[in-house]
Chain A
């Protein structure tokens, strides 16, 4: 600990405050997408120093010395911009505070135990840094009393090699909750580049927030047009397909995955679906509603659907879902009109703390 740490902390608070005020800008920043929780993100912050009266840009004369010849005068006139590094987890924290998102309340069994090493045991060997002083002296005392070399009038203890005791690590299972999140994305022809970018940003931040709330999160990605298939993270964030849209195909696949790999007794399940709401037919929509109500909802904490406005889509699907699940708090629905609406939409989807 250095005395300056408190100043540093204060500075980081100011930086976080600044980021919070301009969160919108960072939320739709593509460079962040694809980073992981502990990854550091470098955020440039202009003009965070103390403002002082100074000469402006037309300071265009100077004096130089030596054989180097003329050149940029360097720091003195350069704009001062500071790069601040924050982890994705810290950004998620800021997002949560700004949107006043409630902590997610784990449901289901807190099954999966993590094994953590705790220094609770004692051992006869170990590094000096882990030496257990009290136990060592006690051992020395015990030995000296037993061998009769201890004189209570002159209590001198000399530990020898075999008296030394060390703390040792004992593995301890710590139960905690795990989560499984399924991201479903419509990649049909009507989803343009901009729509996909919105989905990417939103999915990224939702992911960051859920990762921040659970110790262990499994994410699975499904893309669909007329058929659905599971893809890896990379593909999910890059793919561009085209074709018709059968949303039920994705829901069926999601259901299969959950039933096969993620029973709700073992994990907290979440489904996030992103689409422009342009389904193939009313029949398919009815099938979707049925799937969600009958099969998916009993297995998940929350089913969320975010509809991105697109020039080609009718956006009918959101209306149909709204009609079908008016009061069900397990279903979160949201509409994203543009990039700027991402924050509000995240609040819609995560605001219930489920």
Chain B
């Protein structure tokens, strides 16, 4: 089935002939290096169209919502004031769509194409995208239709309000959810002990003595007590939004909207999980293809300018393009020179380590292997070495409240790595899970915050817990810490109160 369901990908929007030739050439080159990507369709867009697509997350049709308008306004303004410009956008679908801005230089377009083939190869082959819906273009359009129908039936304001509520929970999903093998519903054995189970086998005339009624009663009561003690959910549930969808009492259409928001959040989740790897991979390949094959003499200066812009570092900020591409190159170098294995790890002399070269030439092979199996956390955990850390000048920084400035905290490898990993593991989102769906036996939703450093922002917490209480229909409790003391935040649907203590 052809996937061009939208209004604005109209005819005659293909690439101009010179770029089409380049596209064919670059695609061939990319494949010759072993990149394996979906068919990739390039669209020429005006800056307004590309800013719109950016606001829509790359998809031409989304459900109606004001935040898209807000994002559009911001990118558009920032473009018009010359502050930023979107060079490249590609969506993870099959076929993949990539957008080129019509006012860019040809050398930019070539760079973007080479970059995009890297991304699409990554989308197609990385394990964390295994469960991604590759027909998301259609799915998003279906979501849009459904939301529009709901709006027609239940009113724009009511539906929009529900979307607002749902969106404020869309970071409380479990990106690992689809990767965990769970028993199917029918496999779950109903193990509530019944009378029959408690009864010991006995001949009919002996039954009264083998299974005395008082004993059976005691058994039944014990079983009931056990059921009452059973936790719900059994294990803490990381996916708060999914838990609400499954267990909150609400009209079907509202649950459907929550489901739509959840579905889209899950679609974007693996992209956030692999940002450094993915951008690094695409950058690795565009440099490789451009500098070795594609660049003409006239392109070089503009190419260097734009490439260095992409990998530029600003104080205090991590650039995923830079970190990613450097780490990929580091891996390639190590495996090319055989710098791995027991002997390598046991070698301590810096001189010997620097000279180490077994001519293994396994670099490229290793890269493809890594791009298939890792995500950002495991990527850095496995390959961020002390050598790399020193080479790249990593450091950790601390905000000093007294001098009101950021100050160097440490350049130690262990500190840097720990800092990076904890940053990536949470990605700025607090880890929240549902610990009890029937708190106080009154249907209270009990959440726990896995407190590992900074406190929650109370302003946002108030609003979000209020939103959650509105969806759940009962009070919501969140156990967290404020100023190193355990605190329970209680939202009863109208107000937030603080209860000190665990």
Contact = CB atoms under 8 A, between A and B. Distances in A.
A54 B457 contact: yes
Contacts of A14: 66
A192 B326 CA distance: 66
Interface stretch (B56-64, B91-99, B336-344): B56-64
B423 A62 contact: yes
Contact of A61 (B55, B66, B73, B419): B419
A52 interface: yes
B453 interface: yes
B69 A62 contact: no
Interface string A48-73: 11111111111111111111111111
A8 B397 contact: no
Contact of A2 (B48, B160, B429): B48
A12 interface: yes
A50 B164 contact: yes
B430 A54 contact: yes
B463 interface: yes
Interface string A1-21: 011101111111110000000
B51 to A, nearest CB: 9
A67 B316 CA distance: 10
B362 interface: no
A55 B168 contact: no
B313 A73 contact: no
Contacts of A49: 67, 70
B28 interface: no
B171 interface: yes
Main secondary structure of the interface of B (DSSP, over half): mixed
A56 B458 contact: yes
A4 B69 contact: yes
A70 B316 contact: yes
B66 A11 contact: yes
A22 to B, nearest CB: 17
B399 A60 contact: yes
B462 to A, nearest CB: 9
Interface in B397-417: 397-399, 401, 405-409, 416
Contacts of B419: 61-63
B222 to A, nearest CB: 40
A63 B73 contact: no
Interface residues of A, number: 43
A71 B399 CA distance: 9
A12 B401 CA distance: 38
Contacts of B454: 55-56, 58-60
A60 B398 contact: yes
A82 interface: yes
Given A52-B460, A71-B315, A74-B316, A11 B423 contact: no
A14 B163 CA distance: 15
Given A7-B69, A74-B314, A61 B456 contact: no
Interface stretch (B182-190, B388-396, B434-442, B492-500): B388-396
Interface residues of B, number: 70
A4 B49 CA distance: 9
Interface in B52-83: 52, 55-56, 60-61, 64-70, 72-74
B396 A62 contact: yes
Contacts of A47: 459
A66 B453 contact: no
Contacts of B105: none
Given A2-B48, A73-B316, A64 B395 contact: yes
A64 B407 CA distance: 11
Interface string B417-454: 00110010000111010000000000000000000011
Given A54-B460, A64-B315, A12 B69 contact: yes
Nearest to B393: A66
A14 B314 CA distance: 35
A73 B172 CA distance: 24
In this complex, the member of B392, B399, B420, B467 whose beta carbon has the largest number of chain A beta carbons within 10 angstroms is B399
Given A56-B456, A65-B394, A73-B316, A3 B461 contact: no
Given A3-B52, A58-B454, A70 B168 contact: no
A76 interface: yes
B428 A50 contact: no
Nearest to A58: B454
A68 B171 CA distance: 32
Contacts of A2: 8, 48-49, 52
A9 B69 contact: yes
A60 B64 CA distance: 37
B423 A3 contact: no
A7 B65 contact: yes
A84 to B, nearest CB: 8
Contact of B428 (A11, A70, A76): A76
A274 to B, nearest CB: 38
A82 B73 CA distance: 10
B395 A70 contact: yes
6 contacts: A2-B8, A9-B69, A10-B66, A49-B70, A68-B315, A68-B316
**Among all A-B residue pairs, the 10 with the closest Cβ atoms:** A71-B315, A71-B316, A68-B315, A11-B69, A7-B69, A8-B69, A56-B457, A60-B399, A70-B397, A66-B313
